[in-house]
Structure formats: C-alpha cells, structure tokens
A and B are shown apart, each in its own frame.
Chain A
Amino acid sequence: MQHDAVLAETIGIRGHGNDEIEAYTARPMDGRPRGGVIVIHHMPGYDAATKEITRRFATMGHHAICPNLYTREAPGAAPDDAAATARAQGGVPDERFVGDAAGAARWLRSLPTSNGRVGAIGFCSGGRQAVLAGIEVDLQAAIDCYGAFVVGAPPEGFPLRVSPFGHRIPELRAPLLGLFGNEDAHPSPDQVDELEKLLREAGKTYEFHRYDDAGHAFFSVDRPSYRQAAAVDGWERIRDFLARHLGA
C-alpha cells in the first residue's frame, strides 16, 4: 500500500522586510524529493477553502505553502474580518506581496526534501499576483486562475492598490498556465486575449484554457460560481503543468 501521509500545519515564515508572517503548509511525509507550490489566496483571504486547496497540492505530490497575505493587517483575525480590514486599507501592496512570495519560495527550497523547483498558483486577485511572482521571484511555474488587472486598467477612482503590468510581460521568467471563464468580467475575454498577445509577442512559454459556461471563481466549490466541468478540466491542466515543470 502506498504511503500517503500528509502533514498540514500553521507555521511562521519570514516574508517582506524579514517580517514573520503566518502561513499554512501541507507536505507529503514519504521523504521523497519534490517541488513546492506557493498557493496565493483570493481576496476573501486565507480561508478554509484555500487551506483545503493547499492540502490538495500535498496529495498531488508537492510541498505546498499558503502565506497569509493579511497577517500584518489582521494577525489572528477570522479570515473574513481580515479580508475586510485589508480591503478597507487598500489591499496588499505589490512590493510587500513579492517579498512574502519570495519568503515562501525560500522556505520551500529550505526543506530537506525540496528538489529546488518552486511554482505559484493564485486564484482571483491571487491570479494577478501569481503572474507578478513569475516576473519577480525565481519560479519554475506560474498559474493564473482568473486574475484581473494583469492587463486592463482598473476603473477611475479605484481605491485598491492594484495597477496593470502588461508592459512587464517580457520579464516573465516562469512558464505560465492561465485558466479563465469566458463569462468573467474581471478579467474579460478581451483582456485574456490581450494578455495572450503579449505573451506570444514576447515569445514566452504559456498555455491558456478558456471555459464556456464559466465565469469568475469557477473552482470555488463552496460558492454558486462553481462550474464542475471547468473545474475538473482545470485541475487536470494544473496537475499536468506542475508535473512537467516541478517534477512529481
């Protein structure tokens, strides 16, 4: 019988500015070398659903870690209260996110069973941040699940600190997998087209999969936005992409 034990626990890691931030990790316990996945939570925060996704990556054969990007605004708070606080304060600054993602990558590579390869996956706002991490952090794979504002300017008077960075796509260092719903408004199909054009023109390694009858957050099993066909196919694409770029 295969040894499939997984350890999941909350830990502290060093993030941006050497701050200690909270993180949730799940790791296979069989002692074999493997790659690591940084799970970037959505705007509703470091919640139960995101922790479940983190554990799923461990069952798929990767070390996984989800840093709590709202640790500083709301240490120890309930995820929904933390998300509300972060939103009221303008969201997570990109520079700080990059520092936290770099800290998560360092932590994954420090594991005795790390094979040195690290990827990042983000959902919603985390999708945009996964692409940013692919530019700023040493990653071997990046996965953008319906992240808005990689391209396309936010509306006028927009209070959160997000700005598009399509002009930086030539700096992307990691292969990119993009998963999008054709009924999504953020990002819209036109914006996905625009991002794909930038990737193609810059000669980047990427693959996009776009689903009909799916809008934003089609992976969210606890929300009405869940779309079974898109989510099942999407998970297969993720599994295949990570196996190719991180090793099993």
Chain B
Amino acid sequence: MCTYSTEKRALTKSSGKGPDGWFPLETATVYYDHPVHAPDEHTVNIDFLNPGRGPGARVAVELSLDSAKELLAALAVTVERAADH
C-alpha cells in the first residue's frame, strides 16, 4: 500500500503464464508492501508484466519475507549453477 518502495527491472527473452496463457514478460516490479491476498501485514511482492498487452497481462506473487529469502537463495544457487552449463 504505502511503503511505495519499488524496484523495477526490464526483462528479456522471458515468459509468464497468466489467465489467458503464456505471454512475453517485459518488466518486473519488486516491492515490500501490503499484500492483496497473503495473510501478513507486509510481503515481498513481484509483478511480472507486459504493459503492451494491458493490465491483465500480469503474473503476481506475494511472498512472506522468509519465503522470499528462500527463493532468493534458490535463484542465487540456480544462476550460479547455470554459469557452468
């Protein structure tokens, strides 16, 4: 809601699956704020978006802080391993 804090990144060669199926992802916004659905006061939220396809072209997640840390570690390990491929 109102921490306003937002990190925004451009994405390339990436896709997500929304209610209407797969679509190319262009941006990700990451922010720690009040969730719409998750049962916590603040969560780490990620919106994967394709602005050209409208507001509905969105894959959204709301992660508890602990879950976000786990995911961050998993991403770090996976990206590190990918360097060896």
List the interface of chain A (C-beta within 8 A of B): 42-44, 73-74, 77-78, 80-82, 84-85, 87-89, 91, 124-125, 146-149, 154-155, 158-160, 162, 185-186, 215-217, 220, 223-225
Contact = CB atoms under 8 A, between A and B. Distances in A.
Contacts of B7: 159
Contacts of B40: 224
B60 A84 contact: yes
Interface of B: 1-8, 27, 29, 31, 33-34, 36, 39-41, 47, 49, 51, 54-56, 58, 60
Contacts of A73: 55
A171 B36 CA distance: 36
Q: Interface on chain A toward B: helix, strand, loop, or mixed SS?
A: loop
B5 A84 contact: no
Contacts, number: 85
A77 B29 CA distance: 18
Contacts of A162: 4
A20 B3 CA distance: 30
Given A159-B6, A217-B34, A224-B41, A82 B1 contact: no
- Give the top 9 A-B pairs by smallest Cβ distance, nearest first: A77-B55, A74-B55, A124-B2, A81-B55, A85-B55, A84-B47, A124-B1, A80-B36, A88-B29
